């Protein structure tokens, strides 16, 4: 299977090793030819997988020959390192070849002084567009849009639009929709390119406008944009300002990148790590993870405090020390399953105020059913192990309590965090671990103290 998978990849491990070998042997012409044969994504993959010194050497050797799209495709940490090796003129040359949204992505993390130097190297019209793009929040729809589009007046005929498309020199490479505007630049609607090409020349373009005008406010979030594209099966969508004036267009390829980034970010945040952990230095990675580990240390201390309250019970019944991690572990795993479903549903807009109560009730029921199942299994196992049916009953009751608590915490914590304006993907598991550990130990040791001593 691994061999078949490698064949699907443009850049296989063998390709990366060949790049490293050609670089080490100084065979620059072969190296240039090999990298030139790769797509932008392929070049980005090579730059990400080689070592830091090899990457520096490649950038120094090929900085004018790298596909501009390749630099945008790079992981953010690697891209920053590559840009550090380029001067302002080199970066401006790259930005000049990119769409406005990609150019803004390239420049957004540069130091302010260097960004001004790069912008000064660009033609005035490009500089104005990029500066306007950078003025919007990083998470907004306006930062995703490209300003290169086909915009036509609502008074034109199909023939005039076709002639314009043939004669214009600044049209985008990929055109799916035409955008019709009134005399004030307000969006009147969109026309599918295929439909226009099938229509006779004298027909007014306004007659072809889709009556269901779908547009995106410039201030909409990236997540809202992704949800709209998914729900409406869009390929492109216009972006408008507060007066419905056409500003740009968002293409499906940019939305795919957003979906990929958002999904990856949520997964990483649930584990308490960052998106740049793969390429960051050991010291930086350790620093970023230290906060998460500190919070987990605090929850562990809280759980240990609960255990400490039952120190006498554990001394009298050693079996409690053996069995109590099982209760906490089962609750933690069950809660993780629930919180993962909840965080995803919130991110995708599937979990809302309208169905939140139903979702909580369902997950609590699932927790109860699983609690009863594993309570029975553990009760039988404990009776067979220790020959004490009362101890089996205690762990069974504690198991049910903790799995129901885990299900409730796994749903209510993400919902509560989102309503408080906190990203549930970042903090949910911290609070969940605290709940399942404390409830698990408290239920098991408390019931054991009550019934067995």
Question: What pLDDT band is residue 267 in, cutting at 50, 70 and 90?
Answer: low
Whether the pLDDT of residue 2 is over 70: the answer is: no
Segments of the chain assigned to CATH 1.10.357.20: 282-452
CATH superfamily of 282-452: SLC41 divalent cation transporters, integral membrane domain (1.10.357.20)
Per-residue pLDDT tens over the stretch 144-185:
898 888 999 999 999 999 999 888 877 777 788 899 999 999
Residues 254-258: what's their mean pLDDT? Answer: 84
pLDDT(362) > 60 = yes
User: Over the stretch 10-61, which tens digit does the pLDDT of each residue have?
Assistant: 678 888 899 999 999 989 899 999 988 988 889 988 998 898 899 999 988 8
* pLDDT at residue 336 greater than cutoff 70: yes
Per-residue burial over 343-372, b if 16 or more Cβ lie within 10 Å, else e, is bbbbbbeebeeeebeebbeebbebbeebbe
Instruction: Find all residues with CB under 8 Å of 32, minimum gap 6, and list them.
Output: 61, 62, 65
Domain spanning 2-137, CATH architecture: Alpha Horseshoe (1.25)
The two most distant CA atoms of the chain are separated, in Å, by 95
> What confidence score (pLDDT) does residue 6 get?
44
How large a percentage of the chain has pLDDT more than 70? 93
Residue 204 DSSP symbol = B
| CA-to-CA dists, residue 120 to 87, 91, 136, 157, angstroms | 13, 11, 20, 40
Residue pair 394/444 in contact (Cβ under 8 Å)? The answer is yes
Strand partners, 239: 216, 248
Cβ-based neighbours of 358, under 8 Å, separated by 6 or more: none
Coil, strand or helix: which one is 73? helix
- For residues 396 and 376, the answer to whether their CB atoms sit within 8 Å is yes
Q: Which pLDDT score is estimated for 1?
A: 39
Delimit the CATH 1.25.60.10 region(s) of the chain.
Answer: 2-137
Residues of the chain with CATH 3.10.580.10: 151-269
Q: Is 268's pLDDT higher than 80?
A: no
Q: Around Cβ 301, how many Cβ atoms within 10 Å?
A: 9
Contact at 8 Å (CB) between 78 and 104?
Answer: no
Letter string b/e over residues 45-71, b meaning 16 or more CB atoms within 10 A of that residue's CB: bbbbbbeeebbebbbeebbeebbbbbb
Q: What is the mean pLDDT of the chain?
A: 87
Angle value at C-alpha 8, between 31 and 21, nearest 5 degrees: 25
Residue 365 has pLDDT above 80, yes or no: yes
Kind plus residue range of the DSSP H or E element containing 213: none
Reply yes or no on whether the pLDDT at 110 is more than 70: yes
The percent of residues in the chain predicted with pLDDT above 90, rounded, is: 43
Q: What residues have CB less than 8 Å from 122, skipping those under 6 apart?
A: 92, 95, 96, 130
- 159 neighbors 236 (Cβ within 8 angstroms): no
The answer on pLDDT for 427 being more than 60 is yes
For residue 298, pLDDT over 60 is answered with yes
139 has pLDDT over 90: no
**Quick one: pLDDT band at residue 272, thresholds 50, 70, 90?**
low
Predicted local confidence at residue 449, as pLDDT: 93
Considering the domain 151-269 in this protein, what is its CATH number? Answer: 3.10.580.10
Contact, 413 vs 432, CB < 8 A? yes
Q: Exposed (0-12), middle (13-18) or buried (19+): which is 285, by Cβ within 10 Å?
A: middle
Interval 186-206 mean pLDDT: 92
Whether the pLDDT of residue 299 is over 90: the answer is no
Residues 6+ apart with CB under 8 A from 306: 437, 438, 441, 442, 445
- Check whether 261 has a pLDDT greater than 70: yes
């Amino acid at each position: 299977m691994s061999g078949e998978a490698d064949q699907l990849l443009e850049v296989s491990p063998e390709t990366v090793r060949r790049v490293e070998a050609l670089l080490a042997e100084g065979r620059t012409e072969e190296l240039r030819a090999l990298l030139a044969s790769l797509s932008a994504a392929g070049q980005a993959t090579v730059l990400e997988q080689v070592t830091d010194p090899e990457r520096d050497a490649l950038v120094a050797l090929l900085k004018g020959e790298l596909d501009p799209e390749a630099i945008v495709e790079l992981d953010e940490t690697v891209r920053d390192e590559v840009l550090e090796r380029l001067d302002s003129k080199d970066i401006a040359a790259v930005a000049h070849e990119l769409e406005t949204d990609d150019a803004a992505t390239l420049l957004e993390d540069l130091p302010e002084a260097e960004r001004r130097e790069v912008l000064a190297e660009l033609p005035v019209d490009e500089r104005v567009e990029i500066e306007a793009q950078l003025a919007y929040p990083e998470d907004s729809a306006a930062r995703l849009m490209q300003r290169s589009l086909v915009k036509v007046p609502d008074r034109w005929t199909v023939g005039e639009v076709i002639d314009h498309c043939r004669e214009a020199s600044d049209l985008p490479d990929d055109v799916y929709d035409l955008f019709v505007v009134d005399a004030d630049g307000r969006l009147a609607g969109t026309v599918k390119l295929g439909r226009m090409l099938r229509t006779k020349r004298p027909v007014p373009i306004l007659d072809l406008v889709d009556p269901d005008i779908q547009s995106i406010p410039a201030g909409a979030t990236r997540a809202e944009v992704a949800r709209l594209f998914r729900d409406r099966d869009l390929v492109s969508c216009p972006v408008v300002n507060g007066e419905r004036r056409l500003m740009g267009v968002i293409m499906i390829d940019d939305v795919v990148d957003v979906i990929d980034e958002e999904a990856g970010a949520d997964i990483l945040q649930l584990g308490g790590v960052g998106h740049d952990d793969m390429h960051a230095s050991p010291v930086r990675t350790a620093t970023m993870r230290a906060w998460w580990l500190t919070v987990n240390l605090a929850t562990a201390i809280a759980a240990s405090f609960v255990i400490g309250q039952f120190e006498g019970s554990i001394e009298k019944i050693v079996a409690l020390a053996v069995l109590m991690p099982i209760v906490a572990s089962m609750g933690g795993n069950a809660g993780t399953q629930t919180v993962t479903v909840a965080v995803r549903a919130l991110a995708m807009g599937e979990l809302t105020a309208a169905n939140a109560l139903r979702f909580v009730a369902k997950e609590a029921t699932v927790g109860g059913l699983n609690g009863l199942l594993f309570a029975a299994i553990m009760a039988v196992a404990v009776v067979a192990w220790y020959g004490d049916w009362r101890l089996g009953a205690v762990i069974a009751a504690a198991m049910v309590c903790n799995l129901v608590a885990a299900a409730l915490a796994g749903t209510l914590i993400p919902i509560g965090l989102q309503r408080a304006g906190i990203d549930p993907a970042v903090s949910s598991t911290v609070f969940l671990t605290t709940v399942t550990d404390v409830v698990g130990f408290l239920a098991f040791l408390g019931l054991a103290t009550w019934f067995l001593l």
